[in-house]
Amino acid sequence: MTTHKNLLGGPDPTHLPENEDAYRMLGEESLAPAEVAAKHPTFSLAWAMLADDAFEAGRVVESYAYARTGYHRGLDQLRRSGWKGHGPVPWDHRANRGFLRCLAALARAADAINEKDEAERCWQFLQDSSAEAYAALRR
């Protein structure tokens, strides 16, 4: 892993810890996201997948609940990883993607249930955390 000094004086990027067991369960074992979330409730990617599946099936409130769960689990992990409430959360770090996807899913579902202020805050938080994630996930 390459470490670069931040020349702008802002906080260093935050990299969440990997959960190889959860990735293995999703990949090699082909377990459903709900099974992985039940075994690894702090694994935001499983919550993001549940949120996306629910949203695509028209279950917007369910999607909102899944996204909010994964978002809060991710915030807890960010704080434990040294994040101080702002700063980059790079999209290119695999373990960060679950949190960033939950943040986008929360924005999307909040918008769908007419929580416009929350949706705007979430989209802005995503853009501030990772412009790359924002570009990839803003639909």
Task: Name the token pair of 110.
Answer: 């909040």
3-state secondary structure of 139: coil
Task: Name the token pair of 71.
Answer: 């978002």
What is the residue whose two structure tokens read 């249930």?
Answer: 113
Cβ distance 19 to 36 under 8 Å?
no
Q: Is the pTM of this model over 0.85?
A: yes
pLDDT at residue 10 in the model: 85
Please state whether 13 falls in left (phi above 0), alpha (psi between -120 and 50) or beta: beta
46-98, pLDDT tens digit by residue? 999 999 999 999 999 999 999 999 999 999 999 999 999 999 999 999 999 99
CA distance 36 to 19: 11
